[in-house]
Chains A and B, each alone.
Chain A
Amino acid sequence: MTQEGKQMGHESLPLGRFDLTPERDDLVRRMSGAPVRLDMRAHPIFAFVGALGGLPLPIKDLSEGLGLAFDKGPVLAGCRIDITRPLEVARSYAVAARVEGIERKPSRRFGWADHLHLAIALSDSAPFTDIRLHIIFPATEAP
């Protein structure tokens, strides 16, 4: 694990893919109480759903591969999403992800915690969305 205050270098993952079907959009709209779809535009939360759901491996496997304690119950701290073009249903998007950094810091809740920063972009022939995720994992010891 990296030292406190020092981040890992950026590591790109193999490309993944996310199929944004009308059925998936209908499902998300029902669960989140959104209005029905008026055209091809999907619910904007798919910038997040497609990013995680389209990774080339589940977030659990990615996290554990990075040495992070996924089974301890990680929590989502924040995200920033930029939408260049609205995601549309009945399209398939390439999912490009990279690890922007992992940092171990003191935590009031866990004692120590690892902060994972991921950047994930969805594109077709052009960029659609870009998300930066910050996820906190409990850690058991100081760096």
Chain B
Amino acid sequence: MTEFPDTPFGPVSGEDMATWCDLLSDDNQIHLSRAAAEAAGFGPNRVNPGPANLAFLLSAAMAADPEAGVTRIDARFEGNVVEGDHVIARNEGKALALYRDGDDRPVVTASIQFGAIE
């Protein structure tokens, strides 16, 4: 696993969430509407799409070793990041984990394999 220091990102913006949704062709309103997020029980702020959270972890690893090739990603989405959040990507040895700043439970954990690919 690529070594890297705790890497902060954020604040996560609602505008970026809409861009992610456009790229993903994802109309899930919890990412686009505060009212929809609240109605679905996520609280008063829009919810960052899961792939956007995973991208933070990958970006932290890429910054540490831009030449590294990723061959496998195994990710679990265990919590949510909402607009305004600051997050921290952390290398925990066997896995990478993304935390909301100040929380002790990860929102995403990912085992990432690096190696030579074509």
Contact = CB atoms under 8 A, between A and B. Distances in A.
B23 A53 contact: yes
A85 B25 CA distance: 24
Given A80-B74, A81-B72, A29 B59 contact: yes
Nearest to B41: A73
Interface in B5-23: 7, 9, 16, 19-20, 23
Contacts of A38: 66-67
A44 B117 contact: no
A70 B9 CA distance: 29
A74 B26 CA distance: 11
Contacts of A44: 58, 62, 70, 73
Contact of B59 (A33, A48, A76): A33
B105 interface: no
Interface in A6-50: 24, 27-29, 31-35, 38, 43-45, 47-49
B82 to A, nearest CB: 13
Range for the number of chain B residues in contact with chain A: 35 or more
Given A33-B59, A53-B25, A58-B26, A83 B42 contact: no
B96 interface: no
B40 to A, nearest CB: 3
A45 B55 contact: yes
8 contacts: A28-B23, A34-B62, A45-B51, A45-B55, A52-B24, A53-B23, A55-B25, A70-B28
